[in-house]
Structure formats: structure tokens, C-alpha cells
């Protein structure tokens, strides 16, 4: 409720879709701590989580990100040609994550260390992702089936938004941030109406952003369109933080662990051809019998037992993730 009210105040508007319920569907599953998923549904969010999961910063941020999508990607949204809607993931997921992070921090629901860790996590995604150099069109084509590609697009969008906000704040001497640009876009989407909004042309993003950042088109092309590196200014998180050098080790199952886990028949899906699972012998369509993995620790081997389709033979596959 705190976050919902904060979003309405941030956008200087009444709650969108008045009277419509917003439901959190919580499904308890046997999962290690740190392994949870939040998935948007119609007027709801599905949270799949272990019973012992603490209400930590990472979970608060993931839930808040989904709630923020009512504004970023719904109230403020851009049109796309049929079949290219996924190319807006940098905005719908990435910018929504940035806004959720900033607002949680302002409300005292995300500690400075949580904010630092969230940013370091996004940097680690880009540092370890095999798709980090892919442009937006290529990345979006993979995102529907590959969770690593989806995470890469989200992290890129969030860091790009953080960078742009720091640029705007520096140019305006603290008078404006990216949130002000989003408020301007919401006004355009409403076009004088009270609550209903219409999709904006993609050009509206650069046109509106350029009023605060004359280099907006160049930055967007380099980072989002082309997939270039995101260099965060030292002041991006405020004066109490500074940029440093880190080493990242990412857990990479090499297949779509989440979809496989919830598949009713236990079929393995999303095996990446160049990933560790494929190299160890896992195949799409294998039927999962058991899985042992520690998803927050890439140093612990993954052990999978599957049944091969068309046979009764069980195959044990072990590899470093």
C-alpha cells in the first residue's frame, strides 16, 4: 500500500484504474533462499517463493517492480509494430525497475546497502551475460524464451535509466531527474483526460528526453539500440556512493530453470546450445526426475536426473553452473 500510494504521488496523479483490484498471488514452493520469481498477470502478480524466504530488499524490489509496471509500460507506454512488442522490454521492465528502486529508497523501504547491491546485481548481469553485446532487436528476439536474455534487457534498461537520470540532474543542477521526464510523458499520454491514456509513438521518448539531455538520441542509440556498455557516473546513486571495480560470478543453469520447474510434465526447456547444461548433455524435452542446485552459489555443481523421451532410461547429468 505504501508503494502504491508513493507511485501515485510520484506521478502527481490519482491511482490509475480506480476501483480495479490489485492481487498478489503467493504460491509456496520448495526453493532455496534467494530463489523466487515474480510474474505479472492481469491485475495481479504471481509470486512463487519458498516458505523460509525473508522479506529482504531483493524480494521487496522485485514485487515493487511489478507494481510499478502499472505506470511504466501501462499508463506510460509506447507503440510498437506487430511482432516487435518485446523490443520495449528495456522500458517496460528496465525503467520500471529503476523507478521502483528509487521510490523504495525514498520511502525508506530499501536501505542504502540494498540499493548498492541491486545496482551491483544489474552490473553483474551485464558483466556475465553471453548476450551483453547484443543490440536491442536481437536481444528481444531471444528474451521470450531465454531468461538470461530477459534479465540482460532489464538490467540494461535499469542502468541506462539511472545513467540518464544522473545526466539530467547534473545538467539541471538538481532541479530535474528522469522521473520528471516520465511525468511529462504521462501528461502526453493522457492528452487532457483524467485517467485514460493512449500509447505514445517511440519518438516521444527521445523528443521529451532531449529537452533535458541534448545527447539523448546518441546515448540511446549507443546503449539500448546497439547494446554498448553503460558507464555510470560517480554521482548516479548520490554522493555517498562511488564507482569501483568488482568481480562477478554468475549462476548459469544453461536452461530455463523456472519454466522447467513449473512445467506440469517436468519437461526441460530453453537449453542454450552454448551453455553448460547442453555441453553436459542435457536436451530440450528431457523429463526432469530430480534437480540439485544452489541458485545463489555458482561454485556448487548442478546435478540433474532426467528420463529421455522414448526410453525408460534415466540419465544423470552434473556440471558447473
Please give the span between the terminal C-alpha atoms of the chain, in angstroms, as a whole number: 38
Question: Which parts of 10-101 are beta strand (E)?
Answer: 23-28, 37-41, 44-49
- The residue to which cell 511525468 is assigned: 183
Does the pTM surpass 0.85? The reply is no
For CA atoms 69, 75, 76, 78, give the dihedral sign.
Answer: positive
What is d(CA 278, CA 280) in angstroms, rounded to the nearest whole number? Answer: 5
| Predicted local confidence at residue 20, as pLDDT | 61
Predicted pLDDT of residue 240: 85
pLDDT of residue 238: 84
The four Cα atoms 41, 269, 130, 163 give a dihedral, to 10 degrees, of 0
Sign of CA dihedral 119, 121, 126, 127: positive
pLDDT along the chain (321 residues), means of 10: 88 62 82 83 87 91 92 92 93 96 94 93 91 94 87 96 96 94 93 78 96 96 96 86 83 88 89 92 94 85 92 91 92
Cβ–Cβ under 8 Å, residues 202 and 78: yes
CA distance 320 to 279: 11
Amino acid at each position: 500500500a505504501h508503494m502504491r500510494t508513493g507511485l501515485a504521488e510520484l506521478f502527481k496523479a490519482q491511482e490509475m484504474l480506480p476501483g480495479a483490484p490489485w492481487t498478489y498471488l503467493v504460491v509456496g514452493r520448495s526453493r532455496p533462499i534467494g530463489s523466487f520469481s515474480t510474474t505479472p498477470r492481469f491485475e495481479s502478480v504471481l509470486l512463487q517463493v519458498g516458505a523460509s524466504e525473508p522479506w529482504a530488499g531483493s524480494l521487496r524490489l522485485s514485487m515493487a517492480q511489478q507494481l510499478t509496471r502499472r505506470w511504466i509500460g501501462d499508463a506510460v507506454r509506447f507503440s510498437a509494430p506487430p511482432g516487435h512488442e518485446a523490443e520495449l522490454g528495456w522500458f517496460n521492465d528496465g525503467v520500471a525497475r529503476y523507478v521502483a528502486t528509487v521510490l523504495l529508497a525514498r520511502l525508506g523501504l530499501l536501505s542504502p546497502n540494498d540499493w548498492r547491491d541491486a545496482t551491483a546485481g544489474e552490473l553483474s548481469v551485464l558483466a556475465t551475460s553471453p548476450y551483453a553485446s547484443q543490440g536491442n532487436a536481437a536481444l528481444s528476439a531471444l528474451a521470450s524464451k531465454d531468461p538470461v536474455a530477459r534479465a540482460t534487457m532489464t538490467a540494461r534498461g535499469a542502468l541506462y535509466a539511472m545513467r540518464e537520470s544522473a545526466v539530467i540532474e547534473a545538467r539541471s543542477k538538481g532541479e530535474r531527474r528522469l522521473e520528471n521526464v516520465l511525468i511529462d510523458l504521462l501528461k502526453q499520454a493522457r492528452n487532457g483526460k483524467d485517467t485514460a491514456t493512449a500509447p505514445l509513438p517511440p519518438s516521444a521518448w527521445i523528443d521529451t528526453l532531449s529537452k533535458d539531455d541534448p545527447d539523448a538520441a546518441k546515448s540511446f542509440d549507443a546503449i539500448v539500440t546497439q547494446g554498448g556498455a553503460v558507464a555510470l557516473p560517480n554521482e548516479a546513486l548520490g554522493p555517498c556512493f562511488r564507482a569501483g571495480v568488482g568481480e562477478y560470478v554468475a549462476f548459469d543453469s544453461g536452461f530455463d530453470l523456472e519454466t522447467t520447474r513449473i512445467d506440469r510434465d517436468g519437461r526441460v526447456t530453453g537449453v542454450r546450445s552454448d551453455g553448460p547444461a547442453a555441453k553436459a548433455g542435457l536436451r530440450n524435452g528431457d523429463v526432469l526426475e530430480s534437480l540439485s542446485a544452489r541458485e545463489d552459489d555458482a561454485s556448487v555443481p548442478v546435478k540433474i536426473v532426467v528420463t529421455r523421451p522414448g526410453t525408460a532410461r534415466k540419465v544423470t547429468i552434473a556440471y558447473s553452473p
